Chains A and B, each alone.
Chain A
Amino acid sequence: MARARVVPTWRISRIPRFPLPKHAPDVVWYGLLITGIAYVGFGLVRSAATTLSWEELSTAVGNGGLTLLRVVTLILLASVVWVPIGVAVGLRPKLTERVQPLVQFLAAFPANLLFPIVVFLIVRFDLTPKIWLSPLMILGTQWYILFNVIAGASAFPSDFREAAASFRVRPWRWWRQVMLPGIFPYYVTGAITASGGAWNASIVSEAVSWGPTKLSGSGLGAYIAQMTEAGNYPRIALGIAVMSVLVIAMNRLLWRPLYVFAERRTRLD
């Protein structure tokens, strides 16, 4: 049974205390890291100061806001769809056995192969790219939510299920107080992975071309993609910096606290 959760790769470790000698290698490493970042940052700021204006920064941040909105909306939508389905599958061991490999395949499938179809549909039906390009971001990463929710539901203790069944807990309370808290840590793990993946995918999905047709939905991903195409290094750097700040902020302010909360709540000892 697939019980193991996919562990988020970007958990930030604690900064070591300096005076301790056993942390000497860490001190050297962090020293190098800080020097490197300072050097690159300084260089960037100096060149940016001459080539980039404040308006440029606000353009990038504004695009970042748009992509952030998309990521949040899409994670919510994907959760509404996949959490109930994942629970329904995970509680049926035989179905889980059949569905899990399929989900793994879907997660591995290169979603960008489907982009031309979407471009064709948007052009054919004259749809707004700003809205209709968005779903592409989550196409490949939504499966992590489903995958983890299935794992969570199949690891849900049978005594908990039997207790709820024997007390005939009604559906609304069953979801709210029995099932959702039970799969919550698994869900958070899946959502962290999915949202991280969606940020990455925004670079290839917010600006899409197929043959001569070029569509752009704006957003930070489109910004970075367009600047890359134009070979505009200062703006590529600015775009990536804004994206890094947003991703880290989302991890620290949303996902990490949720993760800690989930772990603490479902622990019995």
Chain B
Amino acid sequence: MFSPNVGHGSIEKHAMATEATVPIMELSKVCMAFPKPSGEPLAVLSDIDMVLRQGEILGLLGRSGCGKSTLLRIAAGLIKPASGYVLYRGALLTGPAQGIAVVFQTFALYPWLTVLENVVLGLDALGLSLDEARRRAMSAIDLIGLDGFQSAFPRELSGGMRQRVGFARAIVNDPVLLLMDEPFSALDVLTAETLRTDFLDLWINHQLPTKAVLMVTHNIEEAVLMCDRILVLGSNPGHIAGEIPVLLPQPRNRLDAAFHAIVDEIYSVLTSRMAASIGVQSQIHGGMMQQLPELSINRISGFIETLASPAYGGHSELARIAAELGLEINELFPIAAALHILEFADLKDASIKLTAAGRVFAQSESEERKRLFREHLLRFVPLAAHIRQVLEEREEHHAPRERFEFELQDHLNRADAEKTLRAAIGWGRYAELFTYDDRTRTFSLDHVNR
């Protein structure tokens, strides 16, 4: 066992005195990297310091790809961090441990086991007798509202009922720490709301043995609704961009002004991060670090038109337009980022505002839009301008896709490079800046305006 900075002999006393004050979990300088195709490590998490205290629900909020799920798996002992360490109740965590349970986004129920057998599996490590295991599994099933379904197979259940099994399996072992990886994101809106409320009821009424919860989510309202504290994660590599305490009493009301203020604050942390990173990315390494969100022209035009409509008058708080259009941050932020990159809109302090060019775009006909888009693409997306330039310089005006893939992979991981190139192809085609033939995987200037 690992006891940091405690002299021999005082360990026991120390442990007794601090039972209430030792954090449930503590992450210190945790870094994580996965190998790139070239073999070099690509950092996904850097220097994460995090403390999870007794009695709280801590939220990890961020866009997809910010490493939040990796962080949760490190806390579960499923992945070893590349450097740094994790303490669970003061002891070094070296692997999955008694008292830590995970609820998965995809439920991860075994289709060949019944509900009861799936839940009993969560108890296997304790080595209980068959009767005792069944008794405890049944009481977890009852608590979570699954009574009557114990002999059903997962395929017979709706998504909401399946995730209830996921919860029952996690709590059956009386975990001290519950780790939840986007537990409601695979469910429809109403089902998710029901499950959230049911979970909060159990939590607030102390019907769970659990002492702390760590929840990963990309849903801002969900985080504000459930968490006592929210860590906002930034990406490339994943880092803690801000910490926001949520001191509102439970149950919380989404329509509350205070609730709204916290949602706005989170948007503003996320947008300032995004605006800053877009600014940096376009300036260094000839702009080849700039990530482009893969987004169709229709979505971009549609969003600009909506924003230009009288209802918004060219600007909106992100929270408002997200709620009214039913967009989650995973959907909203790529659109906002695209508009910001192309300078059709400005992101500032949790709101988005059309630029003069954006307003012109909204009022133009299709040919004029194309011309405007082309102009902005050349000016503000270095990758698109670079592809065009290379094609112009070459005598036969052809260039293989690999050429640009390799250039991008110097600065981005493979998946991001792929996405960025696909976005550039889509936008370039629309702007008639270049054409791309996927069969031969070559860019060319055939049939475009020179």
Given the complex of chains A and B, what is the CA–CA distance between A265 and B104 in angstroms? 21
Given the complex of chains A and B, what is the CA–CA distance between A170 and B98 in angstroms? 13
Q: Interface digits, A146-176 against B, CB 8 Å rule (1 contact, 0 not)?
A: 0000000000010110111111111001000
Q: Least Cβ distance of B174 to chain A in Å?
A: 13
Contact A163 B125 (CB under 8 A): no
Given the complex of chains A and B, what is the CA–CA distance between A168 and B122 in angstroms? 8
Residues of A within 8 A of B108 (CB): 157, 159-160, 162-163
Quick check: is B101 within 8 A (CB to CB) of the other chain? yes
B contact residues vs A (CB 8 Å cutoff): 73, 76-78, 96, 98, 100-102, 104, 106, 108, 110-113, 117, 121-122, 124-125, 127, 154-155, 169, 173
With A173-B121, A268-B154, A268-B155 known as contacts, the answer to whether A162 contacts B113 (CB < 8 A) is no
Given the complex of chains A and B, what is the CA–CA distance between A160 and B118 in angstroms? 11
Q: Interface digits, A54-84 against B, CB 8 Å rule (1 contact, 0 not)?
A: 0000000000000000000000000000000
Residues of B within 8 A of A266 (CB): 111-112
Count residues of A near B (Cβ-Cβ below 8 Å): 22
Given the complex of chains A and B, what is the CA–CA distance between A10 and B100 in angstroms? 49
With A160-B110, A177-B113, A265-B112 known as contacts, the answer to whether A166 contacts B78 (CB < 8 A) is yes
Contact B124 A167 (CB under 8 A): yes
Residues of A within 8 A of B112 (CB): 177, 181-182, 265-266
**SS of B interface (majority):** loop
Contact B73 A267 (CB under 8 A): no
Residues of B within 8 A of A165 (CB): 78, 96
Contact B121 A166 (CB under 8 A): no
Residues of B within 8 A of A267 (CB): 111, 155
Contact A166 B100 (CB under 8 A): yes
Quick check: is A269 within 8 A (CB to CB) of the other chain? yes
Contact B96 A177 (CB under 8 A): no
26 inter-chain pairs at a CB distance below 8 angstroms, sorted by A residue, are A157-B106, A159-B106, A162-B108, A163-B102, A163-B104, A165-B78, A165-B96, A166-B77, A166-B78, A166-B96, A166-B100, A166-B101, A166-B102, A167-B101, A168-B124, A168-B125, A173-B121, A173-B124, A177-B110, A177-B112, A177-B113, A181-B112, A182-B110, A182-B112, A267-B111, A269-B155
Contact A268 B111 (CB under 8 A): yes
With A166-B77, A166-B102, A169-B124 known as contacts, the answer to whether A181 contacts B96 (CB < 8 A) is no
Given the complex of chains A and B, what is the CA–CA distance between A132 and B155 in angstroms? 47
Quick check: is A258 within 8 A (CB to CB) of the other chain? no
Knowing that A166-B96, A269-B155 are A-B contacts, what are 7 other residue pairs whose CB atoms are under 8 Å apart, sorted by A's residue number?
A: A162-B102, A164-B121, A166-B100, A167-B121, A169-B121, A170-B127, A177-B117
Scoring A159, A170, A269 by chain B CB atoms within 10 A of each residue's CB, the highest score goes to A159
Given the complex of chains A and B, what is the CA–CA distance between A266 and B98 in angstroms? 29
Given the complex of chains A and B, what is the CA–CA distance between A266 and B113 in angstroms? 9
Scoring B73, B104, B111, B122 by chain A CB atoms within 10 A of each residue's CB, the highest score goes to B111
Given the complex of chains A and B, what is the CA–CA distance between A159 and B76 in angstroms? 13
Quick check: is A178 within 8 A (CB to CB) of the other chain? yes
Scoring A159, A163, A266 by chain B CB atoms within 10 A of each residue's CB, the highest score goes to A163
Residues of A within 8 A of B76 (CB): 162, 166
Given the complex of chains A and B, what is the CA–CA distance between A159 and B197 in angstroms? 25
